[in-house]
């Protein structure tokens, strides 16, 4: 396919404090579920790319983990990944929810971004506008403009209701440099099926877990095999790793009831992803301190 005159393309990364709606906005822009979202903060781990194909532009979204001070080896690796990601993006979208005051966390992130990529333009995104009334939204638009400086672009959006998502896409496209189509237009993500499957399982396993840290759960896909005697079905064998026996009990639920729900939810997503019926076989294993073990981190793909 030839690239029309004036076509724009480039890499875009959303940054912001945990839970500010970065993944949800990525999904809304791409229109298919790719990045993991959950009501728990800091669940995004991979630099997942979603693609937005337009007649005039191609937007490549790099969904980075939030910047945070490293506390474990996993934290350090995440930060290294973040730095790498930032160094070659064309636009940064700073996400700040409409209903939350701008605080030291937001300023710290902005400072890091300006240090890591001083010349990259920053677009202010006031997210979750469905949660506030108009006057509060206006107030936040002004506050984010003030934070970013006089020439900055700031736009309000709700990924949940879809309001303004197309405006965000237009604005992002206009801010990208002229460039080629990097990907054919039927591609929506670069992630392998396997890592998308483990994200779906992890997301389901995290849902409703109240007190445990999300970083304590990791999922490994052991095997994907054709189902014996049926050619419209595959068997997916996966292991959910937790760090402590107490976490295992929480993930399993009473008599394994929670795990069955996790399985049902994850299976639906995997069936949609693979376009076939799926038999999902899930096991939960305790692996002490996996976050601090380099060999284990390697095995789980970090
Ligand atoms: N009401 C409302 N909720 C939203 C919106 N966007 C995201 N959320 C919710 O906010 C929570 C966090 O959203 P995520 O997209 O996972 O946030 P994130 O910034 O990617 O979070 P991390 O992965 O922790 O960095 C989830 O419960 C979302 O459902 C929105 O536009 N409106």
Classify residue 118 by burial, with Cβ atoms within 10 Å: 0-12, 13-18, 19+: exposed
Select from 21, 50, 164 the residue to mutate for testing ligand 1; criterion: most ligand atoms less than 8 Å from CB: 21
Nearest CA to ligand 1 atom 8: 21
| Contact predicate 284/242, CB 8 Å | yes
Half-sphere exposure of 187 (CA within 13 A, CB side): 14
Continuous H helices in the chain: 22-30, 73-87, 104-116, 134-148, 165-175, 193-206, 245-252, 257-274, 294-299
Which residue has the least CA distance to atom 25 on ligand 1?
A: 18
Q: Kindly report which listed range (55-69, 166-180, 247-261, 274-288) carries the lowest average pLDDT score.
A: 55-69
First vs last C-alpha separation in the chain: 36
Interior angle at CA 193, CA 40 and CA 217, nearest 5: 30
Domains 8-175 and 193-299 share a fold: no
Task: Decide if 291 contacts 215 (C-beta within 8 A).
Answer: yes
Q: Is the pLDDT of residue 6 over 90?
A: no
- Note whether 23 and 15 are within 8 A (CB): no
- pLDDT(8) > 50: yes
CA-closest candidate to residue 253, choices 244, 243, 262:
262
> What's this model's pTM, rounded to 2 decimal places?
0.65
Q: Whose C-alpha lies nearest to ligand 1, atom 12?
A: 19
Q: Which residues contact 214 (CB under 8 A, 6 or more apart)?
A: 38, 40, 41, 42, 43, 206
- Strongest mean pLDDT among 67-76, 101-110, 162-171, 292-301: 162-171
Which of 70-74, 75-79, 92-96, 206-210 comes out lowest in average pLDDT?
70-74
**Residue bearing the bigger pLDDT, 208 or 233:** 233
Q: Between 185 and 253, where is the model more confident?
A: 253
ipTM over 0.90: yes
Write the pLDDT tens digit of every residue in 113-145. Answer: 888 788 889 999 999 999 999 999 999 999 999
pLDDT of residue 94: 95
> What six digits make up the tokens of 259?
């795990």
Which residue ranges make up each domain of the chain? 8-175, 193-299
Structure tokens at 192: 């392998």
Q: For 27, phi and psi rounded to 5 degrees?
A: -60, -40
Per-residue pLDDT reduced to its tens digit, 150-189: 889 999 999 999 999 999 999 999 999 998 877 766 666 6
Mean pLDDT of the chain: 81
Write down the architecture of domain 8-175 according to CATH: 3-Layer(aba) Sandwich (3.40)
Ligand 1 and 10: CB distance under 6 A: no
Instruction: Reply yes or no on domain 193-299 having CATH 3.30.300.20.
Output: yes
3 state DSSP class of 295: helix
Question: Is 288 part of any known ligand binding site?
Answer: no
* Ligand 1 pocket member 27 (CB < 6 A): no
Give residue 208's region: left, alpha or beta (phi > 0; psi -120 to 50): left
């Amino acid at each position: 396919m030839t690239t029309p005159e004036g076509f724009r393309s480039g890499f875009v990364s959303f940054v912001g404090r945990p839970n500010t709606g970065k993944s949800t906005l990525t999904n809304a822009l791409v229109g298919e579920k790719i990045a993991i979202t959950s009501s728990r903060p800091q669940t995004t781990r991979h630099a997942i790319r979603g693609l937005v194909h337009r007649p005039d532009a191609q937007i490549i979204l790099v969904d980075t983990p939030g910047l945070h001070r490293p506390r474990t080896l996993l934290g350090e690796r995440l930060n290294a990944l973040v730095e790498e990601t930032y160094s070659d993006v064309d636009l940064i979208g700073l996400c700040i929810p409409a209903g939350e005051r701008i605080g030291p966390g937001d300023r710290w992130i902005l400072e890091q971004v300006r240090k890591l990529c001083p010349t990259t333009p920053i677009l202010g995104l006031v997210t979750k506008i469905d949660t506030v009334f108009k006057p509060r939204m206006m107030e936040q638009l002004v506050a984010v403009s003030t934070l970013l400086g006089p020439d900055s672009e700031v736009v309000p959006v709700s990924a949940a209701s879809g309001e303004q998502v197309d405006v965000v896409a237009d604005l992002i496209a206009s801010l990208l440099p002229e460039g080629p189509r990097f990907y054919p237009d039927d591609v929506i993500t670069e992630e392998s099926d396997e890592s998308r499957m483990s994200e779906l399982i992890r997301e389901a396993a995290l849902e409703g877990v109240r007190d445990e840290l999300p970083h304590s759960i990791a999922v490994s896909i052991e095997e994907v095999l054709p189902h014996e005697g049926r050619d419209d079905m595959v068997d997916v064998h996966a292991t959910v790793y937790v760090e402590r026996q107490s976490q295992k009990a929480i993930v399993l639920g009473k008599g394994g009831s929670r795990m069955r729900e996790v399985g049902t939810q994850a299976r639906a997503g995997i069936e949609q992803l693979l376009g076939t019926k799926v038999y999902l076989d899930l096991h939960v294993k305790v692996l002490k301190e996996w976050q601090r073990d380099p060999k284990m981190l390697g095995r789980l793909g970090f």
